[in-house]
Structure 1
Amino acid sequence: MRVTGTLVLLAALAACSSDTGAGGDAKPEQSPNELPACSEVWVDGAVLSMNYLGCTNEDGSVEGAAGVECESGAGLFVTYQDRFFALSGGQITEATTDSDAYAEAYHACTVGS
């Protein structure tokens, strides 16, 4: 199992800026305001985008995509605030990380079915 949360977050941060070259200042290509609101993304029964990079909380802070790459290569298993989880491109489930639903989904991702 590979934990890729840090890599995904780094990729998201890299996608948000570009280097203008030697002596130039980095200019953001995507600001946190361009990320969708977390309350709009993390809805029970909605589908999590295959290209999910993160969202913006009500206080304006960015919640980067952090998760575990599934062993089967099916995608990234992502959680949000220990209250929601989904496989990238899959249906979002509202259940805490200590629930049976979460344990079953996590196990299916990391061990396979």
Structure 2
Amino acid sequence: MPRLVVLTVTALLLLAGCTSSDGNGRGEDGQPTAKPPTTKTTPAPTGPACSGIWKDGATLPADYTKCVDGGAYGLQDVTECQDGTKLVAYSDTFFAVTGGRISKPKVAPMQDTPEFGKAYTACTGE
């Protein structure tokens, strides 16, 4: 068993020696060393605050696409309507057709309410 430990430690030391750099991006053998991976940063989402858009009785802007909530885009489902508008359900709490009045049904789940069903049927024709 100790022999296995010695072989493992020796192998690790050899591997570490193969990847050391001379400061010029080259290893001890003169070959280029691997570059460290670059990290990509995702830009913060931009747009209006969800709390400023989604209010019962307010009008959903006709050009609405997304809103920001807590540094991320708000949770929403979008259905393309026959007339070119969109039916947007936000956070399973509010819904509206773009350019239309925002509704907040008092019953959950919102998608099971007659109010939402009527808006969905008008949107999709189903």
Q: Does the TM-score normalized on the shorter chain lie above 0.5?
A: yes
**Conservation of the 8 A alpha-carbon contact between 1:78 and 1:87:** yes
Unaligned runs of 5+ in 2: 1-42
Give the aligned CA root-mean-square deviation in angstroms.
2.3
> 1:55 deviation in Å?
0.8
1:8-30 superposed Cα distances (whole Å, 9 cap, x missing partner):
xxxxxxxxxxxxxxxxxxxx7xx
TM-score (norm. length: structure 2):
0.57
Deviation per residue, 1:59-94 (Å, 9 max, x gap) = 2111276411112x1511111011111000111001
Highest RCO, 1 vs 2 (Cα 8 Å, sep ≥ 6): 1
Unmatched tracts of structure 1, length 5 or more: 1-27
C-alpha spacing 1:65/1:80, structure 2 compared with 1 (3 Å): closer
When Rg is computed on C-alpha atoms for both structures, the one with the higher figure is 2
Contact 1:83–1:97 (CA<8 Å) still a contact in 2? no
Which of 41, 49, 69 matches 2:80?
69
Structure with the higher fraction of residues in strand conformation: 1
- Amino-acid identity (%): 39
Q: TM-score, normalised by structure 1?
A: 0.63
CA shift in 2, pair 1:70/1:80, >3 Å: same
Q: Is the Cα contact below 8 Å between 1:52 and 1:65 reproduced in 2?
A: no
1:44 maps onto 2:44 in alignment: no
